[in-house]
Structure 1
Amino acid sequence: MESSKLIGIAREIISTLVIVGIIVGAGILITGTWPFMVAIESGSMEPHMHVGDVVILMSPDRVGITTYVEGVEKNYKAFGDYGDVIVYHPNGDRSKTPVIHRVIAYVEKGEHIPVKIGNKLYLSKYVADHSGYVTQGDHNNAPDQPIISSPVKKEWIVGVAKLRIPLIGYIRLIFS
């Protein structure tokens, strides 16, 4: 192969990496988190989010977190229901697939964990082992706590969902 062809290929690779770097850097700068977008992998957030959707995240430090309980009081909705939707690492374990679910309430250590059934909240028999957020998929009949994770600590949160782009996440899901 000629050296001019090799130089051309190297130039294309370098320019592609620079463009990707600019996009990633701008995304982190704008959202304050990494990753700043995730693909929905399960139906637990139906009917408001679907498998294959991509969700853009923002750092909770920039946008705050509104629980379902607070959302009802303020009449604040995100993705079709009260309260924010977050992405978090179950029990802070970064080796596990992050979960994307709605924030139901904030509980203090020793408080009973609430369960959202329809539009009503009930107290479960489970008690929080530490303070944090209680989360639940919109399609689920039970909260994530204590089954998937203990109450979600702020440092476990990747981001707050702010924008849903339908279907384009299938591209990522095909390759994973």
Structure 2
Amino acid sequence: MPRRPPPRNVPPRPARSAASTSPMNSTTLAVLGGVFILGIGVGVAFSKTTTLAPENVASTQFIDQSAPNPELCVQYGASAIVVDSRVFVTFNPFNVFVSQPVMQPGCVVRANNIGLLEQRKLITGDQLRECRQRLNTFGFTGSIENSPKINCLYQSNADQNLFLGMPGLGNNPSETNNF
């Protein structure tokens, strides 16, 4: 028969308390709670100091309020930021030059409401037919009562808004994208 080694007299280990073995002891929880509260306070302070000015467009609500004739624009179309820029192309040597863009508030009229511009005698019947023939709509800058600058607009779907496809943002109703 094989020999067994004699039993050792090992002193028993002292029992550890649950508080000292837990990775989330009360001190750690207190520090994390303090950091969390401080973070909320800093976030609220930053949001309170947000200023809505032309240099800092923070929401579409500001754009809607800045549009020419905002009530008419919301009822019959959508407010917009109009970017006017000129592009110069030279061929010898080939170069493209772009002027500094001028940004101003504007309004895009929905296609089913463009008769409103003809009723107010801001566009002629020929302009209306020509623009509708190409399935376009109109947009304007400046007050509708004081000779606005009106253009026939083409809705381009070539470059989609990539932010709208991000998970968690939901889907926009399709009727809001069609003019």
Same topology, TM > 0.5: no
Of Structure 1 and Structure 2, which has the larger fraction of its residues in helix? 2
Of structures 1 and 2, the one with the larger relative CO (CA 8 A, separation 6+) is: 1
Of Structure 1 and Structure 2, which has the larger fraction of its residues in strand? 1
